Amino acid sequence: MKLVSWNVNSLKVRLPQLLDFLAMRAPDVVCVQETKLTDENFPFEALEAAGFQAVHTGQKTYNGVALLARAPMTEVTTGIPGLADEQRRVIAATVAGVRVVCAYCPNGQSLDSDKYAYKLAWFDALTGWLAGELQRYPRLALLGDFNIAPEDRDVHDPEAWKGSVLVSDAERARFKALLALGLEDSFRLFEQPEKAFSWWDYRMMAFRRNHGLRIDHILLSQPLARACTGATIDRDMRRLERPSDHAPVIAEVDLDRLQETAVDR
DNA sequence: ATGGCGCCACATTGGCGA
């Protein structure tokens, strides 16, 4: 099962690129963030023609998340239970026995912003919810734009970024709290090149200079992590004309390798 | 230090993202 997370920064603009990506990379499950579309404008038909069922929760202009899958999706839920939030940031579904959670985590803007406090509280709510979900679904994957670079090696210039939003201690502590649930950062299960990033600013020729951050992640529960055979960042999409500022991140899981246990479904 | 780019909307400028 090939799992992908991609912040497309407007699906209206990026739909042709997404369709090319689906044909070229043949993923099984794709988590899409920042569709910036209402549900009635979501391109269900085009994706179905490409072989994918889709579920979406969106709004005008901001946020919006979708799950695409070749296999049927069941138990579809939106948002974080118990968190009153108008911002459409979370959608989850069960695909081929795997619980897939797609998240567009808040940016936070700056450490003194109300949006930063919202970001930290949002992560606490996410972590609290997923603790229970992991009990119910031992095979769980959390994919998305986390808007957190977990370590200094995930930042092109750690000194310049020191203490700022996306890398602050409080944000990194929230990321570690997710790992403490038993989730693994799939990218770090394998040897990776130095300076591997998933987002580059549109400005200042940041991509050409590889001035980026690794803020898009695929976290896997223990059974899935043990069955994970590879994890990469697909920089090809970032090289295109009119690219998203994020690259797709990919993790492959060999479902045949999963051991059958009493609680494992 | 600032702004750079790209997207969106009560649009031709301003808000926001990261």
What's the pLDDT at A262? 46
Q: Tell me, what's the pLDDT at A109?
A: 92
Kindly report the pTM of this predicted structure: 0.96
As a whole number of angstroms, the distance between CA A191 and CA A225 comes to: 15
Q: In the structure, how far is the CA atom of residue A35 from the C1' atom of nucleotide B1, in angstroms?
A: 34
**Helix (H) or strand (E) segment spanning residue A69:** strand A65-69
Question: How many Cβ atoms are within 10 Å of A101's Cβ, its own excluded?
Answer: 24
Q: What is the pLDDT of residues A250-259, one digit of tens each?
A: 999 999 988 6
Residue A263 has pLDDT above 70, yes or no: no
Pairwise CA distance, residues A254 & A41, whole Å: 35
Residues A96-146 have pLDDT tens digits of 999 999 999 999 999 999 999 999 999 999 999 999 999 999 999 999 999
Q: What amino acid is encoded at A61 in this protein?
A: T
A136 by DSSP, 3-state: which?
A: helix
Q: How confident is the model at residue A68 (pLDDT cuts 50, 70, 90)?
A: very high
Q: Are A264 and A221 in contact (CB under 8 A)?
A: no
Residues contacting A178, CB < 8 A, separation 6+:
A123, A126, A127, A130, A142, A219
Active site residue A145: yes
Separation between Cα atoms, residue A207 and residue A209, nearest integer Å: 5
CA of A204 vs C1' of B4, distance in Å? 6
- Contact partners, residue A77, CB within 8 Å, separation at least 6: A91, A92, A93
A169 among known catalytic residues: no
Does pLDDT of A261 surpass 90?
Answer: no
Q: What pLDDT, in 10s, does the model give residues A178-210?
A: 999 999 999 999 999 999 999 999 999 999 999
Residues near strand B (C-beta below 7 A) are A 7, 9-10, 12-13, 34, 36, 60-62, 107, 109-110, 115, 145, 147, 165-166, 199, 201-204, 213, 215, 242, 245
Burial of residue A6 (number of CB atoms within 10 Å: 0-12, 13-18, 19+): buried
Strand positions, DSSP E, A214-254: 216-220, 228-233, 249-253
Beta-ladder partners of A155? A213
